[in-house]
Amino acid sequence: MDFKGFSKKTLPFLESIRKNNDKEWFEAHRSEYEEFILNPSRAFVEEFGEHLQALEPTINFSPKINKSLFRIYRDTRRMGAIKVPLKHRIGIIFWQGNGSRMQTSSFYLHFSPDELFVAVGVRWFEKPMLDAYREYIKDDKRREYLSTLLKSIDAKGYKVIEKGYKRYPRGFNAKMPDAHLSLFKGMATYKILDPKLIIDGDKFISTLYSIYEDMLELQQVVYEISLRVQEENS
């Protein structure tokens, strides 16, 4: 299936989900979900995954739910979870390595009626990744390199996720150069675009590729960190 872009009806349909957020409504409109969301998402994953392999040959992708695609139903049972059952934001992920797709460096995007969000890295480290990240940046040269890289990313117009902690963890202090890096709860960079970009397939793919190419160096750093976790668990 060739990817031609998402339908002009895709974003309005997501707005309808936001306004009619219950399972009964969704089941009555499941065919629209498949036409406007699921089928073009699958086609996009197949086509853009091949493009990404030119940039990073070891990237993983699969046009299946719980692989590159996410479930439309939200898990409302988790503590602190949003209690509406359906997502009006569609996430797609291309991940690297053999670990969890959310805990190994990835090329990620989501779109909603409000935004197209494009990112690389890991937004929230679970403990194994957090420990590996902190161990990685204990090295002065690595810490300096990452700090310089983040400044370069900022200069290109991309944003870095906000720090997650206020106190320095063990092994770090305010006197260390670039010690602020130890305050991050994840490590990712992102850009927010007009969601209507998803309608023009060629422009959507070329724009994403250019952004991910700019972000690739950080992608590779976070992947190197994830490999340390995989080695410890092997």
CATH number at residue 124: 3.30.930.20
pLDDT at 76 (0 to 100): 55
Q: How many domains does the chain have?
A: 1
Phi-psi region of 66 (alpha: psi -120 to 50; beta: other; left: phi over 0): left
Q: What string of pLDDT tens digits covers the 234 residues of the chain?
A: 689 999 999 999 999 999 999 999 999 999 999 999 999 999 999 999 999 999 999 999 999 999 999 999 977 555 455 668 899 999 999 999 887 788 889 999 999 999 999 999 999 999 999 999 999 999 999 999 999 999 999 999 999 999 999 999 999 999 999 999 999 999 999 999 999 999 999 999 999 999 999 999 999 999 999 998 876 665
Please indicate, yes or no, if residue 2 is contained in any of the structural domains.
Answer: no
Please indicate, yes or no, if residue 4 is contained in any of the structural domains.
Answer: no
Please indicate, yes or no, if residue 79 is contained in any of the structural domains.
Answer: yes
Which residue range forms the structural domain that includes residue 59?
A: 10-233
Residue linked to tokens 């720090």: 163
**What phi, psi does 4 have (nearest 5°)?**
-105, 0
